[in-house]
Amino acid sequence: MVRRGLDQWVVGRTIGTVTVLHDRAIRRHVTGPAHFAELLAGRTVLAARRRGKYLWLPLDSGDALLGHLGMSGQLLVQPAETPDEAHLRVRFTFTDGGTELRFVDQRTFGGLAVDTDVAEVPASIAHIATDPLDPTFDDGEFVAALRRRKTGVKRALLDQTLISGVGNIYADEALWRAKLHFARPTETLTRADAARLLGHARDVMNEALQVGGTSFDALYVNVNGQSGYFDRALHAYGQEGEPCARCGTPIRRDPFMNRSSYTCPKCQPRPRRGHW
């Protein structure tokens, strides 16, 4: 939802000034804030793109403004007269004198940088796989690669070198729809199983985008500061103890990779062997 907002409100505009208010926000830009601002001032934003948790804005210079929102980062489009946010880290003005772009980050886990080695994708994130909503995503290649892995299916869905953009919440929802346990070994999946799971993952992501994403935290907002509503349609994630929408069995929560996984014990039976 952030990429869509940037596409609507930022693409086609020329950056006027760049003010870095907290150096940690651009720590990935190792040459510092003055160089960061110099590379961006006067450049026109050509597009807004996303891969995994990274966003980038290709510029008419051939460079790209690359961002990662981390745990609490926000890219907000605000009228210039709007008071500064408490955790404003970087401000971008534009030559048209309209709204500003602001990078706000309470916990400063996110960050911005200018990538000068871009081509189609910034070199620094070229190792991250495309996501299922990308027109270039190859379904057949993904199905084959998934079945070659020797790991649990949810671990595979969270592997950014295999597929990006799914994340913990959408993985649980896709697995619930596909009736697959998160520890199901990938090598035991049939092609039909893998293709069905991919289809559900894509459906979940599309449905979430239609309602602005999934918001469990007031920090997760679009560029206008609005939260999404997909959390109201979740069938598995966060539903511990609630009846499964298919069979009525209480949803179970299990620890998983320092997080949690939510499954229906009846619809998603635990495999005899698996990868936790």
Tokens for 49?
């793109």
Structural domains of the chain in order of their starting residue, each with its CATH number:
2-125 (3.20.190.10), 139-263 (1.10.8.50)
- DSSP-derived letter for residue 211 is T
How much is the pLDDT for 4?
85
Bridge partners of 50?
A: 55
How much is the pLDDT for 118?
81
How much is the pLDDT for 219?
41
How far apart (Å, rounded) are the C-alpha atoms in residues 127 and 125? 5
Q: What is the tens place of the pLDDT at every residue in 189-238?
A: 999 999 999 999 999 999 988 865 444 334 444 555 544 445 667 999 99
Can you say whether the dihedral through the CA atoms of 205, 211, 212, 218 is positive or negative? negative
Strand 111-115 versus strand 64-68 pairing type: antiparallel
How far apart (Å, rounded) are the C-alpha atoms in residues 110 and 114? 14
pTM, two decimal places: 0.77
Q: What is the dihedral of CA 112, 116, 119, 120, to 10 degrees?
A: 0
How much is the pLDDT for 218?
41
How much is the pLDDT for 223?
53
Bridge partners of 58?
A: 64
> Half-sphere exposure of residue 152, counting CA atoms within 13 Å on the CB side?
20
State mean pLDDT over 30-44: 97
For the cut 60, the answer to whether the pLDDT of residue 260 exceeds it is yes
Q: Are 125 and 66 in contact (CB under 8 A)?
A: yes
Q: 190-199 long-range contacts, Cβ below 8 Å, gap at least 24?
A: 191/143, 191/147, 194/142, 194/143, 194/146, 194/147, 195/139, 195/143, 197/153, 197/157, 198/132, 198/139, 198/142, 198/143
Q: What is the tens place of the pLDDT at every residue in 108-152?
A: 899 999 999 886 889 889 899 999 999 999 999 999 999 999 999
Q: Are 33 and 27 in contact (CB under 8 A)?
A: no
State mean pLDDT over 21-44: 97
- Helices within 149-269 (DSSP H only): 153-157, 167-178, 191-210
